[in-house]
Structure 1
Amino acid sequence: MNSYFTDTVIPDTALSLAGLTDYIQDLLEQDDRLRQVWVYGEVSSTNKHPSGLFFTLQDSDGKATIRCVVWNSQMTKLAQQPTKGEQLLVLGSIRVYRQRGEYQLTVWQAFPAGEGLQALRYKQLRSRLEAEGLFDPQTKRSLPIHPQTIAVVTSPSAAAWGDIRKTLRQRYPGLHVLFSPAQVQGEQAPASIVAAIERVERDGRAEVLILARGGGAVEDLSCFNDEGVVRAIALCPIPVMTGIGHQRDESLADLAADFCAHTPTAAAEQVVPELDYLIAQHRERIATLKEVVDRQLDTAQAKILILRNKLRRLRLDRQIQQESRSLSWLRQRLVQVTNLKFQSASQHCQLLRQKLTTLDPKAVLQRGYAVVRQEDGTISRSAASLKLGQELSIQLSDGQVKVKVTEILDDRISQPKARKTRSYKKKDI
């Protein structure tokens, strides 16, 4: 390949880059109309520099922009200072910036021309979405403390994707990262961002979503002020972190997100904790726990020592011996009292047994006595209650007999008459 270029003959009409730039510079800067030109447009961004103020003018439809600069020597002469969102009428001349091959407008004077259409549309959209509650801080969700799966929505060719992966890998190894590619600049960017967020929602694995884009001109970030993108962020079922790479302004996407960072790297740092920090925290908790346990152990040992000294002063062993002797004496006393009461109860039972034996009707019958009962079973205790011919039952010691009264004798007669009785058959009990 080197030999090919060496052998190739360069035409005489070919220009170097510097030559081409010088030619364009001569065309633009020597044009009488461009040496003093009036331009009107909306200020879309400003950047203060030690040498002056750099800002960008944009058409109301956002399809054309031009970079402008006001040097410090001319700043105080302006009738209107360039402010983002303001419509300006400026007077200046076209100059070519050779190092980057760009042209810019060097401004001599600026006059107010009303509020810019883009700024007015932005304010109206922000007020309407804010009234719907899409920016309400009460609806913001908290980030998971230790997420296992994170989704990233950004351009696959952007440096932001590489920065996020590197940061996540360094801070939290082993994290599962889902990538949902999207355009983050241009007319197709809003629809592409919404579709990428919806893919993450349908997948269902991510615990948090990072919407990121690297730094750039404010005009390039207009897709993050799109209503569709804002609603997709606000309605996303998982927490959303934005890292849209600009520190000067806040997009509507930042307001709708649960958390926002100024750069993609900062967004990745906020989403996951640093593993080294977690390890240091864990070690610190272990040290704190050990310190608390050691302190409690020392306190318990001190209490044990105090109680041991108290026990020594109380001579608990002597008290135990005294109590043991007292219990032994009480045991003996209890046995003696119990034996005495048992003997007394045994004697009483024996006496009662003898009395029962004496009063036993069978014992009386065995001594020759009998029990006379009438027919209804009542005991006859008097001869006067008997009648002639009445049948009686006589209970003996070994059975009973039935008799009939044939004569009633009067015990008051000294010579009783002979009593006649008629015997029946003997009936055993």
Structure 2
Amino acid sequence: MTFDVPQSLILDTALSVAGLTDYIRLLLEQDEQLRQVWVTGEVSSANHHRSGLFFTLQDTDGTAGIKCVAWNSQVAKLAQMPIPGEQLIILGSIRVYPQRGEYQLSVWQALPAGVGLQALRYQQLKNRLLAEGLFDAQRKRSLPPHPQTIAVVTSPTAAAWGDIQKTLKQRYPGLHVLFSPATVQGDQAPESIVKAIERVERDGRAEVLILSRGGGAVEELACFNDERVVRSVANCAIPVITGIGHQRDESLVDLVADACVHTPTAAAQKVVPALSELYAEHRQRVAALHQAMLFSEETDLNQLQVLRNRLRRLRLDRQVQQETQQLAWKRQQLVQVTMGRSQQATQHLEMLRQKLASLDPKAVLQRGYAVVRQEDGAIARSAAELAVGQDLLIQLAQGEVKVKVTEVNH
């Protein structure tokens, strides 16, 4: 087919490559839908460049793909780094690259899709609770060693409840078990679990609480990563032990609980000791005590024999005899010294008695002398002190005589 069009007309209407590209750019970049668009797909390739991260997002069946770029200013803000094989939800805007005549998605944000999105939410909540200190080891309480009343929160129709009952009965017959039923799967499970825990706290009898369910898929255990359940366990007034699912990654409830194990049976085994084990431990303690007493007795006997041997070597009987002889000699010395001092004291006393007797006025009177006293009791020592007619008192060896002076001779 040929077109009979004048060449001048073609030249007047033809667009340049830049013009056509600019027209397409205006169509795409000015479209309201494309200025902020969410796109989901799988990362098929990724390449770090000095200006940013370039990658391709395609449908899982490979039928379509789109080139994407996250500039360096945005890379650090991405919630999920694009890695080949990862399912992502991309937020961005369509931009045209004129030099190559290509369009690409300029990325603002990248979020994990499907299971990845759940993992992101899990990690974000975990980081927030971790920052609050809810997982700190200092917050965790010790389980009571011999509880008499235990509360169990689980589904009444789950195998976990039967396993717990069987294990508790085998290990510790007569234990009082309080059952607080709850839904442990589905959208209603978080609220149901929280209410079940609140019932146990209001009752006030339980010393420890078991929160449990059997194994299941990740999505079936989502209620144990719910913030409401996590905070309820963290704020529970009594110690909480979790036994959720089988060998798997820990849930947030496991991290905040005072103790955690991987199965309901293991939780029941951990929360109470087995009576058979207690009896065996008791027998071991009795045997150990008996051995300790025998050892102590043997040690004491050995020590006593050592002391006896030392006594024999010391010959205390000879030392006692020597000490007795020394005491007798010292006693004799003491008696002699005491008698000598007593004799000296007696002689000195006699000398003082004789001296005192020689000075005694009464002894002078006995020899015929008399003492003349005036009326005021003063001793008359000179005739010049007396006057005629004055009364005097003469003291004799035996009695007194009152006289009157009739004459005074100087």
Q: What band does the TM-score fall into relative to the shorter chain?
A: 0.5 to 0.7
Q: Separation in 2 of the partners of 1:265 and 1:395?
A: 127
Q: Separation in 1 of the partners of 2:188 and 2:229?
A: 12
- Say if 2:124 is the partner of 1:158: no
Q: Separation in 2 of the partners of 1:232 and 1:212?
A: 15
Q: Separation in 1 of the partners of 2:310 and 2:403?
A: 96
Q: Separation in 2 of the partners of 1:307 and 1:134?
A: 63
Q: Separation in 2 of the partners of 1:247 and 1:293?
A: 47
TM-score, with structure 1 as normaliser: 0.62
Say if 2:244 and 2:261, in contact at 8 Å, map to a contact too. yes
Q: Separation in 2 of the partners of 1:114 and 1:349?
A: 125
Change in 2 beyond 3 A, CA 1:330/1:207: same
Structure 1 counterpart of 2:98: none
- Say if 2:380 is the partner of 1:383: no
Secondary structure of the 1:153 match is strand
Structure 2 counterpart of 1:31: none
Deviation at 1:384, TM superposition (A): 3.8
Secondary structure of the 2:211 match is strand
The residue type equivalent to 1:304 in the other structure is: L
The residue type equivalent to 2:188 in the other structure is: Q
Structure 2 counterpart of 1:188: 188
What whole-Å deviation, never above 9, does each CA across 1:199-223 have from its counterpart, x for those lacking one?
A: 2212222222111111222222222
Deviation at 1:291, TM superposition (A): 3.9
- Say if 2:148 is the partner of 1:148: yes
Deviation at 1:246, TM superposition (A): 3.2
Change in 2 beyond 3 A, CA 1:304/1:135: closer
Q: Separation in 2 of the partners of 1:392 and 1:156?
A: 137
Say if 2:210 and 2:267, in contact at 8 Å, map to a contact too. yes
What whole-Å deviation, never above 9, does each CA across 1:207-241 have from its counterpart, x for those lacking one?
A: 22111111222222222122211111011122111
- Say if 2:324 is the partner of 1:324: yes
Unaligned runs of 5+ in 2: 1-39, 42-82, 90-109
Change in 2 beyond 3 A, CA 1:143/1:394: same
Residue 115 of structure 1 is aligned with which of 103, 113, 116? 113
What whole-Å deviation, never above 9, does each CA across 1:81-134 have from its counterpart, x for those lacking one?
A: 6x8xx569xxxxxxxxxxxxxxxxxxxxxxx99423444433333333333332
Q: Separation in 2 of the partners of 1:263 and 1:208?
A: 17
Deviation at 1:403, TM superposition (A): 3.9
Q: Separation in 2 of the partners of 1:190 and 1:114?
A: 24
Deviation at 1:351, TM superposition (A): 5.1
Q: Separation in 2 of the partners of 1:210 and 1:120?
A: 28
- Say if 2:170 is the partner of 1:177: no
Say if 2:190 and 2:229, in contact at 8 Å, map to a contact too. yes
Change in 2 beyond 3 A, CA 1:250/1:319: closer
The residue type equivalent to 1:182 in the other structure is: A
Equivalent residues in 2 for 1:20-419, closer than 5 Å: 114-116=112-114, 117-346=117-346, 348-350=348-350, 352-410=352-410
Q: Separation in 2 of the partners of 1:311 and 1:137?
A: 60
Secondary structure of the 2:125 match is helix
What whole-Å deviation, never above 9, does each CA across 1:354-410 have from its counterpart, x for those lacking one?
A: 554554333433443322233443323333444445443333344444444332234
Q: Separation in 1 of the partners of 2:148 and 2:371?
A: 110
RMSD across aligned positions (CA): 3.4
Unaligned runs of 5+ in 1: 1-39, 42-78, 89-111, 411-429
User: Which stretch of the first structure deviates more once superposed, 211-220 or 310-319?
Assistant: 310-319
Structure 2 counterpart of 1:416: none
The residue type equivalent to 1:157 in the other structure is: T
Secondary structure of the 1:210 match is strand
Deviation at 1:336, TM superposition (A): 4.8
Q: Separation in 2 of the partners of 1:265 and 1:190?
A: 22
Change in 2 beyond 3 A, CA 1:217/1:315: same
User: Which stretch of the first structure deviates more once superposed, 125-134 or 287-296?
Assistant: 287-296
The residue type equivalent to 1:266 in the other structure is: A
Change in 2 beyond 3 A, CA 1:181/1:396: farther
Q: Separation in 1 of the partners of 2:321 and 2:213?
A: 88
Q: Separation in 2 of the partners of 1:237 and 1:292?
A: 42
Change in 2 beyond 3 A, CA 1:177/1:363: farther
Structure 1 counterpart of 2:37: none
What whole-Å deviation, never above 9, does each CA across 1:260-295 have from its counterpart, x for those lacking one?
A: 111111112222233333343444444444444444
Deviation at 1:194, TM superposition (A): 1.0
Secondary structure of the 2:157 match is coil
Q: Separation in 2 of the partners of 1:391 and 1:168?
A: 129
Secondary structure of the 1:392 match is strand
Q: Separation in 1 of the partners of 2:289 and 2:229?
A: 48
Secondary structure of the 1:305 match is helix
What whole-Å deviation, never above 9, does each CA across 1:18-72 have from its counterpart, x for those lacking one?
A: xxxxxxxxxxxxxxxxxxxxxx99xxxxxxxxxxxxxxxxxxxxxxxxxxxxxxx
Q: Separation in 1 of the partners of 2:216 and 2:348?
A: 120
